[in-house]
Chains A and B, each alone.
Chain A
Amino acid sequence: MAMAGRITPAVRIGVSIAIATGLYGISFGALAVASGFSVAQTATLSLLMFTGGSQFAFIGVVGAGGTGAAAFGAATLLGIRNAVYGAQINRMLRPRGWLRPLAAQVTIDESAATAASQTDPKEQRRGFWVAGLGVYLCWNLFTLLGALLGDALGDPRQWGLDGAAVAAFLGLLWPRLRSREPVAIAVVCALVTLVALPWAPPGVPILLAAAVAAVWGWFGRGPADEGLEPDVAPKLGQESAR
C-alpha cells in the first residue's frame, strides 16, 4: 500500500479509536469519584493500571461495598488477556530496550487490534503506537475531566459512544472475514462469549473465546495463513485466489 504522507490507514484507525475510546474516560472518572475514590486515586488508576475493563471492575467492586482484595482480584482477572496481546505485539514489532516496558504499558484491546489489522510491519508499528499512545493521552485527559466535573457532562452512552466501540471492533474484524473458515471462527467465538457472559466471572468469557480460537488454529489444517492474514483494506481479487 502506498504511503501518502504520514496519514496512513493505520494512523487513521489509531486516531479514530483513540478519540472514541478516550472520551469514555469521562464516564470512568465520574463513576470512580461517585464510587468513593479521590481524584488522585482515579487519575492513578488511569495513568498506571491503564486497561479500561480492569479499571471499571476495580471501582465497581469497591463502589458496591467490596473489599480492596476483591477489587484487585476482579481487575487482575480482567487484565489477563493483555498477556496474550503482549505476546502478539512482541512477535509483530519486537520492541527493544526501554521501548519494551513502554510498549507493555500501552498494550490494550485497542492498540493490539489496530496493529493486528495491518499486514505491513511498518503499518503494524504505526497502528500500535498511534492507538496505544493516543488512547493513553485521551483516556487520562478525559478521566481527569470526568473526575473533576463529575456527572455534569452526562453519560457518554447518551452520545452513542458505546455504539462507537461496537462499530470499531466490528470494523477491525470485518476485513478478515473473507473466506469460510474465519467466519466460522468468529461465529463460534462470539457464541462462546455470549454463552459465557452471564455465568463466568468478568474477564473469563474472552479468555474462553481465545482458548477456542487457539485450539482451532493448532489443530486446523491447510496452509498456515489461509484466509487468516490481517489486512484492513483487502486487495481486489484476493477472494478468487482461494
Chain B
Amino acid sequence: MTLWAWIAAGCVAAWAIKFAGYLVPVRWLESPRMNRVAGCLTIGLLASLTTMNTVSAGQGLAFDARIGALLVAAAALMLRAPFLLVVIVGATAAALIRLL
C-alpha cells in the first residue's frame, strides 16, 4: 500500500473510533453507578493528560521546563486565577525557563 493509502486508512480508523463511542446506548450509561464511573473517568483522564503533557517525551520521560509550567499553573489556580490567565502563566513560565 502506498503512503496515501495508509493515510486514508488512518483517517477512516480515527473517525470510526470516535463515532463508535457515540453508538454506545445512552441507557447503558444512565445509572447512579455509571454516573460514578463517568465522574471518576473524567478525573482519571484529565490527571493522565496533565501528566502526559508534563513529562512525556516520545516513548519515555523528560523532566524539563514543563514541570515549571505545572508548578506555576498550580500556584495560579490556588490563587483562584481565571482559566485563561492560568494558561498564559503556564506558557510564560515554560518560555522563561527555556530562556535561562
Q: A: which residues have CB within 8 A of B?
A: 9, 12-13, 16-17, 20, 37, 41, 44-45, 48-51, 54, 58, 60, 62, 68-69, 71-72, 75-76, 79-91, 94-95, 100-101, 103-105, 107, 109, 112-113, 116, 157-174, 176, 182, 185-190, 192-194, 197-198, 201-202, 205-206, 209-210, 212-214, 216-218, 220, 223-225, 228-230, 232
Contact = CB atoms under 8 A, between A and B. Distances in A.
The 4 closest A-B pairs by CB, nearest first: A86-B21, A167-B90, A163-B94, A213-B44
A190 to B, nearest CB: 4
A83 B20 CA distance: 6
9 contacts: A13-B84, A41-B7, A48-B15, A76-B10, A83-B18, A89-B22, A168-B86, A217-B33, A232-B83
Contacts, number: 314
B46 A169 contact: yes
A217 B44 CA distance: 10
Contacts of B20: 83, 86
Contact of B48 (A60, A182, A205): A205
Interface hub of B2, B35, B90 (most chain A Cβ within 10 A): B90
A61 B76 CA distance: 37
A80 B17 contact: yes
B45 A213 contact: yes
Given A103-B22, A104-B19, A49 B14 contact: yes
How many residues of B sit at the interface, in one of the four size bands?
A: 35 or more
Contacts of A81: 45
Contact of A157 (B13, B82, B98): B98
B74 A170 contact: yes
Interface string B37-56: 11111111111111111111
